[in-house]
Amino acid sequence: MSDIPPEPRHAGALPASTSTDDEVVRRRARLRELGYTMLEVMVAVGIVALLATFAVRAYDRYLDRAKAATAVSDILEISNRIKSFELNNRRLPDSLDEIGRGSVADPWGRAYQYFNLETERGNGQARQRKNLKPLNTDYDLYSIGRDGETSKVVSDDTALDDVVRGLNGRFTGFAKDLDATASSK
């Protein structure tokens, strides 16, 4: 016999020839345990996309409400300036330039619309509610809203998103809400 002692065999040790193959198999199994399948990744991406869609829509609605609130605030402020002008000059201004608000744009980037109905009477400038009653008898002041379209009758589809001053200042808000408010007063 020889003087070389046999190599100790450890429990679970594999012969040298298959140890690298088995190690590769074990490594792949561990990666599979730690990783995700393509289906799982696709489902996760789909869920994230769905949530992002809802979030973007909610944010757009929030921005629309914020812009409408800004328009209402601007219209109330301009109305106060018009009232002050009227008290000091015993007449309504002919344009918003006379009160220093002619260059003020609404939240959608368009000029506020103003018509002095005392001087424009008979020229077809007065806006009307759905029952064809005048929206105001003193002056009209409004923003043409998000879509940039308007109509003489504020209950028409193109004017529903207009932010209007109505009922001689007793109402300021969306045109679509005007007649519901007017009937309760």
Domain 73-184 sits in CATH at: 3.30.700
Tens of pLDDT along 154-180?
889 999 999 999 999 999 999 999 876
Helix/strand/coil percent split, the chain, to 5 = 50, 10, 35
Which pLDDT value is given to residue 68? Answer: 94
Residue in 90, 149, 104, 140 with CA at minimum distance from that of residue 120: 140
Torsion of CA 65, 81, 181, 173, to 10 degrees: -20
- Distance in angstroms (rounded) separating the CA atoms of residues 48 and 71: 34
Tens of pLDDT along 62-94?
999 999 999 999 999 999 999 999 999 999 999
Tens of pLDDT along 95-151?
999 999 999 999 999 999 999 988 865 466 688 888 888 899 999 999 999 999 998
pLDDT level of residue 39 (50, 70, 90 thresholds): confident
Confidence (pTM): 0.71
pLDDT level of residue 8 (50, 70, 90 thresholds): low
pLDDT level of residue 26 (50, 70, 90 thresholds): confident
Task: Say which residues have a Cβ less than 8 Å from residue 64's Cβ, sequence separation at least 6.
Answer: 146
- Distance in angstroms (rounded) separating the CA atoms of residues 175 and 155: 7
Residue in 120, 153, 80, 182 with CA at minimum distance from that of residue 162: 153
pLDDT at 181 over 60: no
- Distance in angstroms (rounded) separating the CA atoms of residues 147 and 158: 8
